[in-house]
Structure 1
Amino acid sequence: MAPPETLSSSVLVATVLSFIFSFLLVPALPLDRTPPNNDLQTLLCLRSNLSDPAGLLASWKNDSLEFCTWAGVNCGKRHKSHVVALNLDSLELSGQIPACIANLTFLERIHFPNNHLTGPIPYELGQLKWLQYLNLSSNNLRGVIPETLSSCSRLRIVDLGGNSLQGEIYPK
């Protein structure tokens, strides 16, 4: 068996070598790149699922990292790169609300009335723990109101009128 001094120096050399090789094998990331933003990807998912005949979502572009300045998008004061409100009122939007909207984890307000949205309300909306306001009135939504919305403990204002929805949201 080797003396303890030899073992500790061998461990030290192995640690240093693995540290050096990890930098050589991992490609360097450019320093001027902005890290990917989940909210940006979610907004692009939302846009790709909605038809916008009036072109009012034209500012929602893949190459624009300034999504907090996009039409209808409001970001937080504390978390400046997180969407807290979507205000897409009377834009003639059609299509279904995609489940990816639940990836906007800081979302407090969804205001989509007076459009032509169809399909069901995604049950994933119930995962939005900060959601306080939901207005999907005067659309063409159908189906059952997801029970998951009852688990949104902060949800206080809900307007789903003018749709063909069944069920209720039960307060906690």
Structure 2
Amino acid sequence: MDTKKSLLILLSTVVVLLLSTAVQSCLPSDRAALLEFRAKLKEPYIGVFNTWKGQDCCNGWYGVSCDPTTHRVAGITLRGESEDPIFQHAKRSGLMTGSISPAICKLIRLSTIIIADWKGISGEIPSCIENLPFLRHIDLVGNQISGVIPANIGKLLRLAVLNLADNQITGEIPWSITRLTSLAHLDLKNNNISGVIPPDIGRLKMLSRVLLTGNKFSGQIPESLTRIYRLVDLDLSLNRITGPIPASFGKMSVLASLNLDGNLISGTIPGTLMTSSISNLNLSGNLISGQIPNTFGPRSYFTVLDLSNNRLQGPIPASITTASFIGHLDVSHNHLCGKIPTGSPFDHLDATSFTYNTCLCGKPLGNCKK
């Protein structure tokens, strides 16, 4: 009887171990989807996909991560510029080519897609990613991806990061994007995206960074942007944006960097910007007129204040010397006139900060005529 009991216990243990191993392995459907995804990519120099073999894609497959509870594939992370040891033996800088297969959409528990900095991946973003409800992180930066942003991307209600920078994406920002109320990081810089910035983008209250530089955006700056209280970094530079600068930018409590350079912005500089939380303010290369606001004070702190290449007139305001700090100042290529104030920050600036104005004078330019 004891022998039979021992044998029964042993058999039960073996069955449990076998079942446990089976459960912990990735699903055959996930493995098949990964291999279908991999078939559309070519990477001959580093051997990124050399580990994609065997039955268990949750263990040892480079860049693949699985949910520990469901054992479904939850993440694909493939970066072309990586410090991972697998890249140390590359024959040359990694270059992956091919396209992103729609097979990726068969990984229904996917929360992370990072296929970044390969420079050679082309094709379009599969529109079926709209149907991956667990997606939180999409990063396809630094490739040659073309086509448009999927129209119904707003269905991804968990999405926190959308980084499509440095590609060849065209079309407009889908208006459905304003449904992404969990979105914290939006980076679309250096593409060929056109149209207007969605007017109700201010609905995205979790946004901390909005980087849209180097596109073909037109229209005015949406006033609703100034109602995103978490926004720290806003870069709309090198576009075709028109109209005035919303004065309410100066009332945002955490906005630290505002880059609007290289647009067609007109009107005057809101005085509130000079005493705001903004420490990096770049308004250069626009059509801004009027005078530099005489509203500087002890709260004014600028690592960069660039007002160059505009249509500003009048003097440099005397209140600028009351600023607590100004690291870099550039007011060149305007129509300013009068004596340059003395003292900080002017004691460490060179002439290039003031050249090509109508009649500025004083140190570091020439003496003023009596």
Distance in 1 between the 2:152 and 2:164 partners?
10
Which one-letter code corresponds to 1:55 in the other structure?
A: G
Relative contact order higher in (CA < 8 Å, ≥ 6 apart): 1
Larger radius of gyration: 2
- Offset of residue 163 of structure 1: 0.3
Does the CA contact (< 8 Å) of 2:194 and 2:217 recur in 1? yes
- SS of 2:205's partner is coil
Distance in 2 between the 1:70 and 1:107 partners?
11
Q: Determine the structure 1 residue equivalent to 2:225.
A: 125
TM-score, with structure 2 as normaliser: 0.28
- SS of 2:202's partner is helix
- SS of 2:185's partner is strand
Runs of 5+ in structure 1 lacking a partner?
1-52, 74-80
Task: Give the 3 Å change call, closer, same or farther, for CA 149–91 of structure 1 in structure 2.
Answer: same
Distance in 1 between the 2:164 and 2:211 partners?
9
How many residue pairs are counted as aligned between the two chains? Answer: 113
Q: Is the counterpart of residue 108 in structure 1 residue 208 in structure 2?
A: yes
Q: Is the counterpart of residue 168 in structure 1 residue 269 in structure 2?
A: yes
- Offset of residue 133 of structure 1: 0.5
Task: Give the 3 Å change call, closer, same or farther, for CA 168–57 of structure 1 in structure 2.
Answer: same
Task: Give the 3 Å change call, closer, same or farther, for CA 84–97 of structure 1 in structure 2.
Answer: same
Superposed, 1:40-55 pairs within 5 Å as: 54-55=146-147
1:67 maps to which of 159, 179, 203:
159
Q: CA RMSD in A?
A: 2.6
Q: Determine the structure 2 residue equivalent to 1:146.
A: 246
2:198 maps to which of 83, 93, 98:
98
- SS of 1:140's partner is coil
Percent identity at matched positions?
27
Distance in 2 between the 1:114 and 1:165 partners?
15
